[in-house]
Structure 1
Amino acid sequence: MADTPPSQGALALVESITKLGEGLKNGERGARESLLGACSKLIAELSHPSETMLHLLWAQPAHLSVIRMGVEIKLFQAMQDIDAVGETTAEIASRTDPKTDPVLVGRMLRHLAAMNTVNETAPDTFAPTATSKSFAEPVYQDTILYIIDNFQPAHQKMPSFFQTHGFTTPNSQTDGPFQHAFNCKGYHYFEYFQKFDQEMGRRFGSMMDAWSKGRPRWFEPEFYPVKEQLIAGAECDGVFLVDVGGGVGHDVEGLREAFGSALPGKLVLQDRPEVVEHAQIGEGAEKMAHDFLTEQPVKGARAYYFHSIIQDWSDDVNTQILKAIVPAMKKGYSKVLVNDFVVPNQGAAWPQTALDWELMASLGARHRTVTEHTKLYEGAGLRITGIWRHPHSLDSLIELELA
């Protein structure tokens, strides 16, 4: 592309990146996240529209295709233990499974290097990165297979779905882009896993594990003050926290490990019977099969916790979920904790906007702003008493009490 003078916006971003770089060196909170955002904006500002188009529609699809092939031939496992000097394509290809043509492996590795997924250390010589090493882990492999094989059809069928549904926002959880793509109208996304494709459901669960890696947990001191807000004033002989729809217990176990004997009361993990039976939880916690659309059986708990539950359902269903909790709560004592995204009115980050689109495609659901969250909870007889967010996280912890 012909050289053109940089825009004022680009120059401002360069200056901002310089300052943020100093902040990163000095360990300033949020500097890493702000630097990533500023660098992304600078790339967009400096790129010609044709460069942007080719990167999005040419380089990235090829990148996904090569990553998918990498899973197929166990390329990332073959590279996992290579040192920083690297190995030749032939050496790497000799460890693929099934054995793959070194010429083909070389073509894959060159594009992975061009996209910064592996390092090219010399001619025809490659070394792993932190990213490629993670891609050898089972949860990342499952995530790649789920996104590319199992969920991409929902994206590809978006145009035909909206053509037949009048280009209106989906509001049904059994007649959305996913049901259109998989010809399963009338079946909920999670019901489809159970009835038709349990392997897809297993991969989805692994993807959620991968999603949580490296993210601050809600009970960390810089996120939500558990000691001040929950432990202080809690009754010692009751239930401290109920994790409603808590899957196999990641949050329950994390909370138990973080606070141990300081927790004044037991923890209860609730989910569908076929889910909680696979949970591995320690002393002081118990499993309970429960449908969160029905009345909450645990009365007077200090807290009822929902992690990525509200975002998955429509307002009508969420109202039913929350109203099933309200009768169990003790006025002035019990709290509802919602660990979810709160979308800003301006300047939403790409994880928020991307997941919002995915929620629409899979569940006919969406993320909510503060105003939308407030309206939903007030309609169920609750009020927001605080919203907390970790400086290194995009999700929030919303605390609710009886209105």
Structure 2
Amino acid sequence: MAAYPPTLEALTLLDSIAKLSDGLKNGEQGAREGLLGACSKLISELSHPTETMLMLLWAQPSHHTILRMAVEIRLFQAMSGIGAEGQRTADIAAKCAHQADPILVGRMLRHLAAMDTVRETGPDTFAPTALSNAFAEPAYQDSILYIFEDFQPVHQATPSFFHKHGFKSPDSGVDGPFQHTFNCKGDHYFEYFPKHNPEMGRRFASMMEAWSKGRPRWFQEEYYPVRQRLIDGADKGSEAFLVDVGGGTGHDIEGLLQAFGAEIPGKLVLQERPEIIEIAQVSPEVQTMAHDFLTEQPVKGARAYYFHSIIQDWTDPVNTQILKSIVPAMKKGYSKILVNDFVVPNQGAHWAQTCMDWELMESLGARHRTVAEHTALYEGAGLKVVGIWRHPQSVDSLIELELT
């Protein structure tokens, strides 16, 4: 492609990257995240529009298809034990499922290498990366399957939904692009799983486990001070310490248990839909309980009721019902609600916030909220915001609520 002169913005980004690079070498907090953002912007500034188009519309869709096929033939498992020197395609193909053709495997590996998913170490020779090794894990495999098999059809059907319903943001959890795609108007996204496609629900839950990997956890000292805000002042005679409401397979409550162990002065309770409770992965110390969070909270007087990515999944009227089902169980001046969710800035939202906001709209008719929108929602349910905490390397936040 012909020369494409750098913009002033690109030259400014180069200076920024140099400073952030020094910060990374010196262990400065936030330098890694700053570099990721700056390098991404630099690529955008240096790329010709045609190059960007080819990456988005040609390279990435091919990449997604190859990832799906890699799951099918167990390519990433076949590569997981290969050393840094790499291995020939024919040898890798021999370890794949379905007697995969070495020529086909080679074509897959070349594009995976071009997209930096695997490493090309020589002619027809490839080695794994941290990413490809992660893709060999069950939760990452399920994530690929869920997005490619179960949710990509929703992306593809979204334009026809808006043509049919008018170009206004959906405000219903039972009549949106997801229901339009699967012809299930009236069924909420989470109702659809057990009624029509339990495997889709299992993959979704597994993907949420992968989503939590590598991210700062809400109970880390740099994120939210659990000892000062929850453990200190907790009633040692109280039966329940924390209830993880809608807590998936238990990665948050299990992480809290592993982090604080005997310091936790009461019971930990995981609540979820029955089919998710059946596959929960928690220690015996955690009590599991099937519960619909739209109904009255059965665990009374807990120190904290924790919601991770729950508020973002529902419209304001439903969220008000969810919160009001907790309020009668709370002890005034003692119990807290902890909302681990995205708080969208008024300017400069991160791509993880913007893409998930779009997918929330498609799947749930829901959205992310600003500080003002969060505050108004909670005040309407008889709650007040005590504080908002955020880890320096996190794009989500922890909102602490108490009864007004």
Q: Report the TM range for the smaller structure's normalisation.
A: over 0.9
Which moves more between the two structures, 116-125 or 280-289?
A: 280-289
The match for 2:14 is: 14
Cα displacement (A) at 1:4: 4.2
The match for 1:68 is: 68
The match for 1:269 is: 270
The match for 1:298 is: 299
Q: Scaled by the length of structure 1, what TM-score is found?
A: 0.98
How far apart in 1 are the matches of 2:303 and 2:329? 11
Which moves more between the two structures, 258-267 or 342-351?
A: 258-267
The match for 1:215 is: 215
Cα displacement (A) at 1:281: 3.4
Cα displacement (A) at 1:233: 1.0
Give the total of aligned pairs.
Answer: 403
The match for 1:112 is: 112
The match for 1:178 is: 178
Cα displacement (A) at 1:9: 0.6
**CA contact 2:216–2:223 (8 Å) conserved in 1:** yes
Give the alignment of 1:306-321 within 5 angstroms.
306-321=307-322
**CA contact 2:173–2:365 (8 Å) conserved in 1:** yes
Change (3 A) 1:146 1:284: closer
Cα displacement (A) at 1:283: 5.1
The match for 1:224 is: 224
The match for 2:335 is: 334
Q: Secondary structure at the match of 2:99?
A: coil
How far apart in 2 are the matches of 1:274 and 1:95? 35
Q: Deviations over 1:353-385 (max 9, x none)?
A: 011111111111111111110110011011101
How far apart in 2 are the matches of 1:350 and 1:5? 26
The match for 1:140 is: 140
How far apart in 2 are the matches of 1:153 and 1:294? 32
Cα displacement (A) at 1:91: 1.1
How far apart in 1 are the matches of 2:201 and 2:367? 21
Q: Secondary structure at the match of 2:402?
A: strand
**CA contact 2:4–2:48 (8 Å) conserved in 1:** no
Calculate percent identity across the aligned residue pairs. 72
How far apart in 2 are the matches of 1:248 and 1:31? 33
Cα displacement (A) at 1:284: 4.3
Cα displacement (A) at 1:44: 0.3
Q: Deviations over 1:176-223 (max 9, x none)?
A: 111111111111111111011111111111111110111111111000
Q: Deviations over 1:305-364 (max 9, x none)?
A: 111110111000000000111111111111110001111110000010011111111111
Cα displacement (A) at 1:5: 3.5
Change (3 A) 1:7 1:380: same
Q: Secondary structure at the match of 2:195?
A: helix
How far apart in 2 are the matches of 1:385 and 1:298? 22
How far apart in 1 are the matches of 2:284 and 2:106? 51
**CA contact 2:4–2:46 (8 Å) conserved in 1:** no
How far apart in 2 are the matches of 1:95 and 1:26? 42
Where structure 2 has 5 or more consecutive residues not aligned to the other structure, the ranges are none
How far apart in 1 are the matches of 2:354 and 2:254? 29
